[in-house]
Amino acid sequence: MRRRAFIAVIAAAPIVTQLAWSQTYPTRPVRMIVPLAAGGPTDVFARLIAQRLTDATGKQFYVENIPGAGGNIGIGRAAHAAADGYTMLVVASSYVVNPSLYLSIPYDPVKDFDPITIAVTNVVALSVNPSVTAHTVDELIALIKSNPGKYGYASAGAGQASHLLGETFRLTLGLDLVHVPFNGSGPAIASMIAGHTPIGFTSAATAAPAYQGRQTARACRDEQDAAVSVAAGANHGGSRP
């Protein structure tokens, strides 16, 4: 079973009462906060959800990106919004991971929000820029070990599933690999494509367009194993020569 990150939809607590829901909710636009930069899977799915809710209710649901501090800034902003049902939070696994990573966070994951649903799950993939000479995961590991401190990997941010996966890869294999956090999968994959951080752990959905071009997908993390198993080599739809 491959490791997946969840994208949940939650609302500032207490959520609108049953009486309010039975009336003509919503009567005005509803803000959906995404605590990550635009372009990543959380942002994309939030916009899809917002459009469907807009179509279904006839009132505008709109996305506001508030990235920073591993998602804490945006989550904190949502936590302190009026608990009237007009602020929702679309968030990934950092929502439950951050309390164990930071000494202080601006929200209580249990008391400040009411859950609505787990909207989608998403595979995290390991990708590399074509400038990396390794053609397999084993060759990539050997390359990193022979060049300690030279390579860094991009992630969607501290506490994101991509970060935890990258650290599992690094620690399990004893690699001198530098973590370079970004404010979402979009900026992370852009950095990988540009070669600034030639290795990337990002959402497979975000990285997929790059696979159709020059980048190569190397592996996905298997939930049951500590090792990284090769999932695919994709360069113009086939294995890299």
Instruction: Indicate if 117 and 11 belong to the same structural domain.
Output: yes
Residue 129 inside a domain? The answer is yes
Residue 128 inside a domain? The answer is yes
Instruction: Indicate if 71 and 178 belong to the same structural domain.
Output: no
Residue 235 inside a domain? The answer is no
Instruction: Indicate if 8 and 98 belong to the same structural domain.
Output: yes
Quickly count: other Cβ atoms within 10 Å of residue 54's Cβ.
Answer: 16
Lowest-confidence pick of 69-78, 136-145, 198-207: 198-207
**Which among 57, 87, 121 is the end of a domain?**
121
- pLDDT value at residue 222: 35
Give residue 59's pLDDT band: very low, low, confident or very high (50, 70, 90): very high
Instruction: Indicate if 105 and 190 belong to the same structural domain.
Output: no
- pLDDT value at residue 9: 63
Residue 69 inside a domain? The answer is yes
**Residues 210 and 237 sit within 8 Å (Cβ to Cβ):** no
Closest among 190, 235, 222 to 124, alpha carbons compared? 222
Q: Is the pLDDT of residue 221 over 70?
A: no
Closest among 210, 181, 216, 196 to 98, alpha carbons compared? 181
Calculate the CA 140 to chain-centre distance: 23
Instruction: Indicate if 137 and 101 belong to the same structural domain.
Output: no
Closest among 60, 59, 8, 5 to 34, alpha carbons compared? 8
The total number of structural domains in the chain stands at 2
Give CA–CA dist 9/168, Å, rounded: 27
Instruction: Indicate if 10 and 116 belong to the same structural domain.
Output: yes
The two structure tokens encoding residue 10: 């939650």
Q: Domain limits at 196?
A: 123-230
pLDDT tens per residue, range 90-123: 998 888 889 988 899 999 998 898 888 888 877 8
Give CA–CA dist 209/164, Å, rounded: 23
pLDDT tens per residue, range 163-204: 888 999 999 999 999 999 998 888 898 898 888 999 999 887
SS3 32: strand
Instruction: Indicate if 116 and 13 belong to the same structural domain.
Output: yes
**Which among 61, 86, 121 is the end of a domain?**
121
Which residue matches tokens 């929000």? 113
Q: Is the pLDDT of residue 19 over 50?
A: no
**Which among 121, 154, 185 is the end of a domain?**
121
